[in-house]
Amino acid sequence: MDRVHITDVAPRDGLQNQAVHASTAHKLALVERLAAAGIGSVEITSFVSPKAVPQMADAADLLPQVQARLPALRSSVLVPNRKGLERAHAAGAHEIAVVLSATETMNRKNINMGLDEAIAVSEQTLQAALALGLRTRAYVAVAFDCPFEGETPLDRVVDLSLRMTKAGAHEIVIADTIGSASPGMVKERMGALTQAIAADKLAVHFHDTRGMGAANAWAALEAGIRRFDASVGGIGGCPFAPGAAGNLATEDLVLLAERSGFSTGISLPGLLDAIDLAQEVLQRPLGGRSIAWLRKQRDSASGTHLKRPQGLHQSPTQLAPPPG
């Protein structure tokens, strides 16, 4: 059976823009529940400026704890530049990701650099990471539309993806940062990209701003893409991209893939356990478009009405994932 590989980005992309700050213990508990559900790859945190993104200020504390508790998990972290890479390496990172926005204005708004300078920084950071023996990912952000410049030229997205590949990125993640893509756009862009770069080196990262996250995922599957980012419960939204809503929910993607003949190795009930914890931590309802149906299925299987978890009243040790 054809395998779909999912990287859950809830601990990083999901939590970085939340009003409620999750503690290190709660972040660790969330990652443990994701791993217990069968998620094999998680974007743990980012080594960015704590002033710019205070929710990620505990990166150097969180990453070693995750790797000690879950040594088999593929744990990646985002780094903005060489300084962030140095911090991540000192914390024991095995895999890093850089983010390159595909437009001049987005780079200036996000990192106060022009596009050419941002390309150079990304290339230098990837090359330095390779020299350290780290695995690498490169995001090409606003790869469909930019909130400031409108539609991003396709030839530029292909060119930047090739440049990041040549700089040493093991995986290129095409990101619909503001959730403006449609299935037709996905088909066109991924078709062009797979002509330039092997499909198994490409991944996609969708947001669900306009309600088309799952439809876009299906278009990517039809284009031969088998690597996806998603966020459990649909948590997310870029703090530097106006209008960016939550990410494509991991549970929606798993349901779509499994019901369409693909395998993921991920347990939907296990994902519900992770969502239950995240709801308690963030103090608001969470879940993708399938959440009501998934909860009903779990209720029917258990024969009882689900109660909200009591995770916030437990110690970090007690917040370990449930058996199995």
Contact, 32 vs 69, CB < 8 A? yes
pLDDT of residue 308: 41
Contact, 254 vs 30, CB < 8 A? no
pLDDT of residue 110: 87
Computed over every residue of the chain, the mean pLDDT equals 92
Take residue 42 and report the two structure tokens written for it: 């998680």
User: How confident is the model over 190-213, as a mean pLDDT?
Assistant: 97
Among the listed residues 158, 206, 160, 157, the one whose alpha carbon sits nearest the alpha carbon of residue 183: 206
pLDDT digits (tens, 9 = 90+) for 157-200: 999 999 999 999 999 999 999 999 999 999 999 999 999 999 99
pLDDT digits (tens, 9 = 90+) for 75-113: 999 999 999 999 999 999 999 999 999 999 999 998 999
pLDDT of residue 302: 81
pLDDT of residue 319: 37
**pLDDT band, residue 236 (cuts 50/70/90):** confident
pLDDT of residue 9: 98
SS3 call for 130: helix
Contact, 249 vs 266, CB < 8 A? no
Q: How far apart are the first and last CA of the chain?
A: 23
Take residue 196 and report the two structure tokens written for it: 């330039």
Model confidence, pTM: 0.91
Domain boundaries, the chain: 5-313
Among the listed residues 256, 240, 322, the one whose alpha carbon sits nearest the alpha carbon of residue 294: 256
Which residue in the list 238, 244, 274, 281 is annotated as catalytic?
238
Q: Rounded to an integer, what distance in angstroms lies between the CA atom of residue 104 and that of residue 147?
A: 12
pLDDT of residue 241: 55
238 among known catalytic residues: yes
Among the listed residues 121, 208, 210, the one whose alpha carbon sits nearest the alpha carbon of residue 163: 121
Cα dist from 27 to 259, 307, 316, whole Å: 30, 22, 10
Q: Rounded to an integer, what distance in angstroms lies between the CA atom of residue 143 and that of residue 178?
A: 10
User: How confident is the model over 259-267, as a mean pLDDT?
Assistant: 98
Q: Which homologous superfamily is 5-313 in?
A: Aldolase class I (3.20.20.70)
| pLDDT for 135 beyond 80 | yes
